Structure 1
């Protein structure tokens, strides 16, 4: 197989999530069906009806010095912490030519809105002097490259909720074409703020319920909207031959990537689902696998009424009648919609399924929507030989992305 058509090794993984500050903690919690759905900071304490999936117990000083922490927004701090885990797991000093590709959607919007609040209430002297390097989207990737003194390709990807899958897919292409032998890639998000919540609520993206277990229900016929989440998921990708030669632990092989545009609507998917389906087919074609070879799928499935229905249609188009031998899940019922980080977190779940033979279930989904010609995993994890798993990520603006990961 030529270098251009070969997959790449995943030799390092890291995560900061609402369910734990490592991939092991995150996937163990998913296996157990735990959720991290809490009253939002702006919710009425007497009757909370606004929910968020927030990272708790994260101290940036556990991962970086005070000066760096002072000059970074949480979205970059999450990325730095997850990257440190992934690099340590990679198990080898990084060469200067290592690349970095990080996806983010909201970036430092929280720092920006807080600075505006200070300006309005106090005046110019209250605006943080480091606001630019806190808020700019490229600072997560930039700070990772600075930390490890890297001089390889350095990119930031912002394709809404597909950002981390597109970042990882871009990194795959860099290694396949020889631009780099090793790339740090993934996504990070800290989009939780009251102004965005109210915008999403007025746009019909979120709901007002008093039970958190009803706030996000992917593929459930009762679903009414999503819950905002946050965190980061970072992987280290490496030339497969190189990884094998040095005896690296290979968590999985990233084998295929597809990305294309709906070209339909700024916030709603094309109703036919045909372009989501095409992204999945493109990833399979690049990986050299047939739909029948895919045993697990981590769906985008955000719990929005339109989005989930279209994705069901798209999966049906690609896989046909699979009944109980294609197992489909989503992380959104456990940690909400983590935006740019969601696809990367889905990849960590896929790698866990490959390693353990268990694909975590959706703990909040109990009344599965009609029409799925595959097994939506509820109540308990699915048990199977998950040798090949697909991960979807679809976003506003018509972003459709999908990857294939297989056992090494």
Structure 2
């Protein structure tokens, strides 16, 4: 017997704050949270939308805060919000799964420790560095916080980590291996100017960032003149349950996970296969898993859309391939022009926004994009939310190494 997986709670940590409706309203208003990073010259082209004002001890004890890096702290906060949203005060320790995703884990803690080592010597390295660094520590800390003893897994599939984590959690629910899953993804930056992130500097040398000096144009997904990414952090955590479990406790259903697909380009460490054929295939996998055939009922796609020339070109071709028969009837948006690219947690933020948009019957706009790529065969939502029958939505996430994932959600 296969069990239906429903979403009953969500929590977000974003550059717009930790209230999901405020987060959505800022996106609907076209607000851009991307700003110059504090650790690089303003003309470097390195911009990011960073979480501001987060106080770890608002969400956890000082002891836990000391032993966790930002990504795990955000996960603990997101989990608390998601459980509160779901109306869950008690979890079955053996029937609750924790399935998280992250691309970077606690690399910020490692970078900080290395900087302190070089500057001040071995005694300056924080004692808890190791337990801050491991990518599984977000899930582990949640298990310890809530006394959970079921499956606790961490997936790292680069920028596809969110969908792969949520899709894997869905499989646990469908197979009856868990009644409840806490799932999603978080990334945490190290924004202390004393410990300049080496990976951010590498984005410049690798040619990933935009040469613009206008931070509002740092990320222009699917624009004809797009030129690079902007960074980000934060993410989203969700509670998913079997429908039977949710109905038995009278839970409100925020959405249903209908289909999931995951595969690899097997092509290049950082560039997508140019034709987009593998991205098209994973989109069809998700449609097939949902039993939707050619996807005629799908209203919109929350795309990966990073603002890079090659990445967006491949995704445009993939969407044209799968939905070309729909023409301009297919709505597409990318939210990275608002909150940058937080890596493995990007699609978790997309999912949170899509769930609110489904309830409001609208698709959010793509910020900062003014001149859509002429190869686009669909309608790129711009300027303001577009009203639509949002009963079915597709989400894409593609990552370095050729990691491709796609998901179908429905309103009910």
> Is the TM-score greater than 0.5?
yes
Determine if the alignment matches structure 1 residue 342 to structure 2 residue 346.
yes
Conserved 8 A contact 1:363-1:379: yes
Give the equivalent residue in structure 1 for 2:161: 163
Structure 2 counterpart SS, 1:129: coil
Q: Work out which of the residue numbers 284, 287, 301 in structure 1 matches 2:287.
A: 284
Unmatched 5+ residue regions in structure 2?
191-195
Structure 1 counterpart SS, 2:262: strand
Q: Figure out how many residues of one structure are paired with residues of the other and give that number.
A: 404
Determine if the alignment matches structure 1 residue 296 to structure 2 residue 300.
yes
- The two structures have a TM-score, normalised by structure 2, of 0.96
Conserved 8 A contact 1:18-1:230: yes
Pairwise CA RMSD of aligned residues? 1.2
In the alignment, the residues of structure 2 paired with residue 340 and residue 330 of structure 1 have an alpha-carbon distance, to the nearest angstrom, of 15
Conserved 8 A contact 2:102-2:186: yes
Q: Work out which of the residue numbers 93, 112, 118 in structure 1 matches 2:110.
A: 112
Q: Give the C-alpha shift of residue 50 in structure 1.
A: 2.6
Give the equivalent residue in structure 2 for 1:185: 183
Determine if the alignment matches structure 1 residue 10 to structure 2 residue 7.
yes
In the alignment, the residues of structure 2 paired with residue 252 and residue 331 of structure 1 have an alpha-carbon distance, to the nearest angstrom, of 20
Give the equivalent residue in structure 2 for 1:241: 244
In the alignment, the residues of structure 1 paired with residue 402 and residue 41 of structure 2 have an alpha-carbon distance, to the nearest angstrom, of 35
Q: Give the C-alpha shift of residue 48 in structure 1.
A: 6.6
Q: Give the C-alpha shift of residue 330 in structure 1.
A: 0.9
Give the equivalent residue in structure 1 for 2:215: 212
Structure 1 counterpart SS, 2:365: coil
Give the equivalent residue in structure 1 for 2:275: 272
Determine if the alignment matches structure 1 residue 33 to structure 2 residue 30.
yes
Per-residue deviation, residues 31-78 of structure 1 (Å, max 9, x unmatched): 111110111011336x57431111111111111111111111011111
In the alignment, the residues of structure 1 paired with residue 74 and residue 327 of structure 2 have an alpha-carbon distance, to the nearest angstrom, of 38
In the alignment, the residues of structure 1 paired with residue 245 and residue 8 of structure 2 have an alpha-carbon distance, to the nearest angstrom, of 11
Determine if the alignment matches structure 1 residue 59 to structure 2 residue 55.
yes
Q: Give the C-alpha shift of residue 323 in structure 1.
A: 3.1
Conserved 8 A contact 1:19-1:35: no
Q: Give the C-alpha shift of residue 321 in structure 1.
A: 3.0
Conserved 8 A contact 1:22-1:82: no
Give the equivalent residue in structure 1 for 2:193: none
In the alignment, the residues of structure 1 paired with residue 321 and residue 84 of structure 2 have an alpha-carbon distance, to the nearest angstrom, of 41
In the alignment, the residues of structure 2 paired with residue 125 and residue 195 of structure 1 have an alpha-carbon distance, to the nearest angstrom, of 22
In the alignment, the residues of structure 1 paired with residue 150 and residue 20 of structure 2 have an alpha-carbon distance, to the nearest angstrom, of 26
Per-residue deviation, residues 195-238 of structure 1 (Å, max 9, x unmatched): 11111111111123210122100000111100010002010110
Per-residue deviation, residues 67-117 of structure 1 (Å, max 9, x unmatched): 111111011111110111001111122111211011011111111011011
Conserved 8 A contact 1:350-1:390: no
Structure 1 counterpart SS, 2:31: coil
Q: Work out which of the residue numbers 109, 131, 134 in structure 2 matches 1:133.
A: 131
Conserved 8 A contact 1:162-1:395: yes
In the alignment, the residues of structure 1 paired with residue 386 and residue 102 of structure 2 have an alpha-carbon distance, to the nearest angstrom, of 31
Give the equivalent residue in structure 2 for 1:313: 317
Q: Work out which of the residue numbers 154, 172, 175 in structure 1 matches 2:173.
A: 175
Conserved 8 A contact 1:63-1:81: yes
Q: Give the C-alpha shift of residue 191 in structure 1.
A: 4.2
Comparing 30-39 with 323-332, greater Cα deviation is found at 323-332
Unmatched 5+ residue regions in structure 1?
none
Structure 1 counterpart SS, 2:53: coil
Per-residue deviation, residues 126-176 of structure 1 (Å, max 9, x unmatched): 011000111111101110111111111100000000001100000000111
Q: Work out which of the residue numbers 48, 70, 75 in structure 1 matches 2:71.
A: 75
- The two structures have a TM-score, normalised by structure 1, of 0.97
In the alignment, the residues of structure 2 paired with residue 321 and residue 352 of structure 1 have an alpha-carbon distance, to the nearest angstrom, of 28
Q: Give the C-alpha shift of residue 22 in structure 1.
A: 2.4
Q: Give the C-alpha shift of residue 354 in structure 1.
A: 1.1
Conserved 8 A contact 1:349-1:359: no
In the alignment, the residues of structure 1 paired with residue 38 and residue 228 of structure 2 have an alpha-carbon distance, to the nearest angstrom, of 19
Structure 2 counterpart SS, 1:300: coil
Conserved 8 A contact 2:45-2:209: no
In the alignment, the residues of structure 2 paired with residue 175 and residue 305 of structure 1 have an alpha-carbon distance, to the nearest angstrom, of 38
Determine if the alignment matches structure 1 residue 90 to structure 2 residue 93.
no
Structure 2 counterpart SS, 1:292: coil
